């Protein structure tokens, strides 16, 4: 009887462990995040009280920090991801060509990615300092500026510093994915294009880019996921300042949930960030996925 049942539903039994695993690492935490967001839960005061959707109401309509931090998140993620994608595309194309020391260059290119992000943040904080920072020294030696600039003390330049540190650290990741994608494009297509008299730009636009779309999609989605929840660089480089000009939703969640133990409210911000991330992934899917997959 049991054997019959087992044989009949064999395919279900096979995937059961995976379902349990997924339920444990994905479904339960997600459900718990939403469930916790329905409570006023302050670990420091030991208070837990059901408040329904009040956390969301407060967050969206009363919290003076949420919307500015959301705007900072979009600026940070949008700029850092776009720049690293463009740079990744350029670098991967260069490294895909038969150039000298290609192997060594590929390894060197990975170095920034190997450094822990907190260290990247600390290093860039030194680089951007006004008095002893290397960035000012280089600009002054090149004659671009004649006075030191305190990059980390103004809102815009501090955000630009965070974005710079981020794409410096994460461009290698994009490059690796795109390089793998480039290597999967058959040479025959380029040879045929050569026969047809296509120039470099035409080959890139009509062959490389369309065939690289799946890799770009993967790189874009992964980079966005990493950047939208990134906390390390912001914390180590600016600490969210000056003022709150580089505070992002990830740092807000960290402060609310981890440091201030306002678990319920922090979870509500987490749910909103999760929804934004899901929407972004669907948007990328809609724009970049091949037609066959969309259907």
User: Binding residues for another protein, per CB under 8 A?
Assistant: 42-46, 125, 129-132, 140, 146-148, 150, 152-155, 238-244, 255, 258-262
With respect to another protein, which residue has the nearer C-beta, 82 or 245? 245
Q: Look at the block and give the residue holding tokens 């960290």.
A: 254
Min dist CB 64 to another protein, Å, is 8
Contacts of 80 (CB under 8 A, 6+ apart): 163, 166, 167, 170, 223, 227
Q: Which is nearer to another protein, 65 or 106 (CB)?
A: 65
Q: CB of 157: closest distance to another protein in angstroms? A: 10
- Could you give the 3-state DSSP secondary structure of residue 49? strand
Q: Kindly state the smallest distance separating residue 16's Cβ from another protein, in Å.
A: 32
Burial class (CB in 10 A: 0-12, 13-18, 19+), 223: buried
**Least Cβ distance, residue 133 to another protein (angstroms):** 8
User: Is the dihedral angle over the CA atoms 71, 73, 74, 75 positive or is it negative?
Assistant: positive
Give the nearer residue to another protein in terms of CB position, either 258 or 294.
258
Nearer to another protein, 82 or 148 (CB): 148
């Amino acid at each position: 009887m049991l054997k019959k049942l087992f044989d009949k539903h064999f395919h279900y039994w096979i995937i059961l462990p995976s379902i349990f695993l997924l339920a444990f690492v994905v479904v339960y935490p997600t459900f718990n995040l939403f469930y916790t967001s329905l409570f006023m839960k302050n670990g420091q005061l030991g208070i837990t009280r059901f408040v329904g959707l009040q956390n969301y109401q407060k967050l969206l309509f009363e919290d003076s920090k949420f919307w500015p931090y959301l705007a900072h998140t979009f600026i940070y993620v949008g700029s850092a991801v776009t720049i690293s994608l463009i740079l990744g595309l350029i670098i991967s194309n260069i490294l895909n060509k038969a150039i000298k020391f290609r192997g060594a260059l590929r390894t060197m290119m990975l170095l920034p990615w190997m450094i822990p992000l907190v260290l990247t943040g600390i290093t860039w904080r030194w680089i951007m300092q006004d008095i002893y920072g290397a960035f000012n020294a280089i600009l002054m030696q090149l004659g671009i500026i004649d006075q030191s600039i305190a990059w980390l003390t103004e809102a815009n330049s501090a955000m630009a510093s965070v974005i710079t540190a981020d794409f410096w650290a994460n461009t290698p990741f994009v490059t690796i994915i795109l390089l793998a994608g480039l290597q999967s494009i058959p040479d025959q297509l380029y040879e045929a294009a050569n026969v047809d008299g296509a120039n470099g730009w035409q080959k890139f636009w009509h062959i490389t880019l369309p065939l690289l779309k799946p890799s770009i999609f993967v790189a874009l989605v992964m980079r966005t996921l990493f950047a939208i929840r990134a906390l390390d660089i912001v914390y180590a480089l600016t600490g969210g300042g000056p003022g709150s000009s580089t505070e992002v939703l990830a740092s807000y969640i960290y402060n609310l949930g981890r440091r201030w133990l306002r678990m319920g409210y922090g979870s509500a911000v987490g749910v909103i960030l999760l929804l934004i991330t899901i929407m972004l992934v669907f948007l990328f899917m809609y724009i970049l996925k091949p037609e066959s997959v969309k259907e």
